[in-house]
Structure 1
Amino acid sequence: MKWSLEGKWIASGLGLSLLLMAIMSFISYRNATQLIESGNKVKQTNEAMKSLIDIFATLTDAESGRRGYILYGERSELNRYNQAMQSLDAKIKKLQQQLADESLQQQQLMKLKFLITQRLNLSKQSIHLKDAGKSTFHIQETLVTRSNQNRSEIRETISQMQTREEQLLEISVKSSQNNVHNRMLIEFIGTLLSFAILLGVYVLLYQQLLKRQQAEAIQRTLAQEKELSELKLRFFSMVSHEFRTPLSIILGSAQLLAESNQHCLEEKKLKNLHRIQSSARLMNQLLSDILTLTRAEAGKLEFHPELIDLEAFCLNLLEDLQLCSQQQHIIKFISQSNCTHAKLDENLLYSILSNLLSNAMKYSPQQKDILLILSSKTDAIIFQVQDSGIGLPSEFQQHLFEPFHRASNVGKIVGTGLGLAVVKKCLEVHQGEISVVSELDRGTTFTVRIPKYDDYKE
């Protein structure tokens, strides 16, 4: 199935909209995922800071128990110290798990573990001296100094780790905020683009709907026009048939009267009989022209090309015209063609040339020569009708082949304005062309060009 350009645009727009919606959905999913990850990171950081504080509090508690035992010798204080130190290992392991993803914090944790181990050794030495009865200030002074220094280093290390966790938390929060802002902007732009594309698709669909409605309206109009043309054709066919019978009777009767009583009738009566004959022929020609035009407009003009002898056809045509015409004109036939036969529709060609020659006779002074020239080229048959008549005004030539149009200089010459319209329609069926060269009061030349075809396109 071949898609139209509008169909391709609509399909592309829908596809792009679906793609943008999929991208927006993925971005929204990523945004939600990163928000969860950011929340987990904040939670993990808070837990790590809580663990650091808990470790420092446990060390402080152990130190208090050790000092109480050294100063007062109470076993409960020693138990307090031992319990605090025993719980410290679990808390350090927990902190190590919480800081597993941060290499710098892992290094600080190693340092903290070393300082805690050092403090444990110092505490054991102090307790051992106490148990040995060597708890005097002079003996414990060195251990106290080292213990204070160790405690300061532990506090500083924990403080550095807390500061690092705060920095990581701040970085994580800012990164999360930036990501949320960027994704919100992307989602807004994507939604706007999707809306614009869908709006464009809607406009295209609406235009296609309008075009379809217009096409249907045109189709209905054409159907109505076709029906009207067929009705008009039937009407004119009936009228032509009904009128031609009485016209033929009138024409025949007038001709018989004129021929049988030509010597007996007065000149005035004979002139009236000739007028009856002329009017009957004019009405008959008018009916033929109207019927031809109606058939052409309805597309029912019959076309039956046959091989005809062109020179014999032209001579017979001239003989018919001179017999029917009451005017005295000299029509000369000149053959310049080496093509004696051609495949043409004889009836249509008769209508073309008879109308052109009739006009030439009608609008030319009597005793003036009228020429019918036959020539040929490799691809066409050419007929020329030349007269020395009244000519055609230049402003009329654009309406030359329109029905019922007559030039302004025809005066009282009788005519219907249908002849050249009939010529044009008959030539269109032949796929031929007609051109005119005219000069006022000098004459007119019509040139008919009919292509040579073995088979005409229907």
Structure 2
Amino acid sequence: MAEQIGDRDGTKVNVKLLQRKRALGAGFASVIVLMGFTNWTSYQNAKQLIESTNQSKQTYEVIKSLANIFSTMTVAESGRRGYVFLSDHAEYLRYQEAVKAIVPKMQLLQQQIDTNSEQIAQFNQLKQLLDRRIILLEQSIQLHQKQPNDRTTQAEITEQSIQLREQIVLVMNQMQAEEEQRLQQWLNQSQTSIRSRYLIEFLISLSSLAIFLGFALLLYYQYAQRQQAEKLRSTLLQEKELSELKVKFFSMVSHEFRTPLSVILGSAQLMRDNEASWTKERQQKNLERIQSSAKLMKQMLSDILTLTRAEAGKLEFNPQPIDLEAFCLNLVEEIQLSMRSSHPVQIISQGSQRHVLLDEKLLYSILSNLLCNAIKYSSSTSLIELLLDCQPGQTILQIKDNGLGIAPADRSQIFEAFYRGQNSISVSGSGLGLAVVKQCVDRHQGNITIDSIEDKGTTFTVTLPHVGARSPHPPNA
């Protein structure tokens, strides 16, 4: 009986052990299946995230192409106006280059857009509008070459061109809005995939710790893959914001050009209609208005060209001997005349040298932008000081005003293109002046510092080393 009981107990134990082994085996198999399933799902999510990121990149490329087409069309229009109204042949060459560049950019956009009928229809509409506007611009060029004094027809062509530009902007905004909506959908899908991956990878971690530590390497690989995708997504968002800033900037430039162009056209029309009845004094005053508006447009175009050349590494540097004090006297007089400013500007000359080796064009951009800002952002009766300190190895230029000042929060970005301080929104401007100054100072291998107190004034100090005191191979040479 005892042996039978022992056999039965042993059999029961063996059965329990067998059941436990089977349970462990089944559990182990279940864990393996779960790990395989979670790994497969994680891989699919990662693959989906990468595909969504690629789609986001494609959407960004479409938005970028739209911005490039708009900016190129704006350059063509400004080149046409510069040639027609200023008779500047360089502007005509710039117009031709811009028109030639539109065709490949439209071809690139056609390759990037979806093949659905709505986008194709919008693309065809955009192409037709651009073709019509280019024809108008060419008619304006030909009219100027044949009848340079026919301002009435030129004004009509300009008005038609403006209407076409507004239609083009409307179509582009529609295309961009659809692309941005698609981009937002893709980004939302990416967020959902990321959340799913967090949950799946948590289950994988628990399973891996319960089985063996080898799966930790796989988790690390998947984590790195996710980080790379998130980094790419963040980069795409930043590029999207930059694209929007560019579109906004070119719209702002077009708006800024409209005012001086209207002054030029209106003044020219008045002079033509009232040439016999106007006195010489009144004619001279009207000519000064035309010249002032033309100089404003020329300065804006010059700033944009300087930044473009600097970004492309083609900003020229040609140092020549300059009588700095005489240069500054002429510059101050020119600025006060062009801005019709009554600001008192005091020039203080120090140092042991009179002539310095600097690039005259870059120096003009530095001082004109800083002085114009000092005049714009300070009251008409406050004194502006321009200190010139010419030393054997370097030249120090200091512009001091008693105007609005620069907030501490703005100083880290104040030299970025298109950026404007929060307290300067009420004053018109493009946000290009200080960016141009920084590029010109860097081209001299110099440096610029700011000392400013809000509502009390700002002092810019520019230090420019002379040619003999600098490296023989300056950057962007």
TM-score (norm 1): 0.45
TM-score (norm 2): 0.43
Q: Which protein has the larger Cα radius of gyration, Structure 1 or Structure 2?
A: 1
